[in-house]
Amino acid sequence: MKPHKIRYWLNSPEKQEAPEVFAAKVNTICNLYLNAQELEQKDIHVVSTDEMTGIQALEHKYPAKLPLPEQCAKMEFEYIRHGTTSLIGFFHIANGTLYPPYLNQTRNEDDFCQAVRKVVETAPEQEWIFICDGLNTHKSESLVKFVAEACQLDIALGKKGKSGILQSMKSREAFLLDLEHKIRFVYTPKHCSWMNQIEIWFGIISRKLLKRKSYSSIAELMKSIQKFVEQYNLTAHPFKWTYAGVPLTI
C-alpha cells in the first residue's frame, strides 16, 4: 500500500452514463479486431486511423555522444526548432502494415478526407471499415460527400447546419456508421483512445524514431517518417489483441 501516491484516471462518460451504449461500441471494435483476418479474405479491410499532430523537427544544437562501455549515449539537451508537421496514419489490422502516411502541416477535415480517399483508392471496389475516435474532422461534411460519391449513393445530403444528413454532427455520424455502405466508420467511445490500435504504432514511432533523431528541416523529418514506415512494413505483423470486450449481463 502506498497511500501517499496518486494517479489520475479518466473515465469514459458513456461508460458511466450509458453503459449499454459503451459496451456495444467496445464490443463492435473488439469483434472487428478479432475477425480482421477473416474479413480480409472477403475483401473487407479493417483499418485503424488517427492523427499524430505537432510533430516537431528539432535539431540538437550539438552532436550526440555515442555509448561507451558502462556508459549510455548522451543526447544534447538544447535544440533548434524548424517547425512542425502532422501525420495521419492508417494501420491495417489484418497484417499489421501501415498505408503510406499522409503528412501535412495542417490536419483539418479536408486533410483527413484526402487521406482516406488515397487509402480507398488502393482498392476502390472493395469494402473498408475505418476505426477512429469521435473528432469532428472524422464526422465532417467532406467525409460524408466522399462516402456518398465513392458508394455511388444517389441521395440528397441536405445542407450543413440546416437540413438532411449534413445537418449536424450526429446526423453525419449516423450516415458514416451505416452498415449498408461499402465504406463506413466505427467510432471509439469518448476518452477511449486505447481502443484504437494506431495509437500503439504511434508509441512505436515515437520511441524508435522521433525521440532519437535530429532534423534540420521539415522536409528531412517527413522523409525520415516515410522511410521508417517502409522499413517497418518489411517485418510488420498484427498486434495481438487480447481484450475481448465488455461481458454482457443477462
Single-letter code of the amino acid located at 107: R
pLDDT at 8: 80
The answer to whether position 138 is within a domain reads: yes
> Residue 5's CB: how many other CB atoms inside 10 A?
6
The answer to whether position 7 is within a domain reads: no
CATH of the domain at 137: 3.30.420.10
Residues of the chain with pLDDT under 50: 250
Considering its fold, how many domains does the chain have in total?
1
pLDDT at 249: 58
The residue whose grid cell reads 471494435 is 29
pLDDT at 250: 45
The answer to whether position 92 is within a domain reads: yes
- Strands 44-60, 79-92: pairing is antiparallel
The answer to whether position 243 is within a domain reads: no
CA 189 to CA 15: how far, in whole Å? 8
Dump pLDDT digits (tens) for 205-249: 999 999 888 999 999 999 999 999 999 999 999 999 999 888 765
Question: By residue range, what is the domain housing residue 122?
Answer: 28-234
Beta bridge partners of 49: 90
Q: Where are the beta strands (DSSP E) in the chain?
A: 44-60, 79-92, 102-104, 127-132, 183-187
For the purposes of burial, counting CB atoms within 10 Å of the CB of 178, is it exposed (0-12), middle (13-18) or buried (19 or more)? middle
The answer to whether position 2 is within a domain reads: no
The answer to whether position 241 is within a domain reads: no
CA 76 to CA 121: how far, in whole Å? 43
The answer to whether position 127 is within a domain reads: yes
The structure's pTM equals 0.91
The answer to whether position 103 is within a domain reads: yes
CA 75 to CA 4: how far, in whole Å? 34
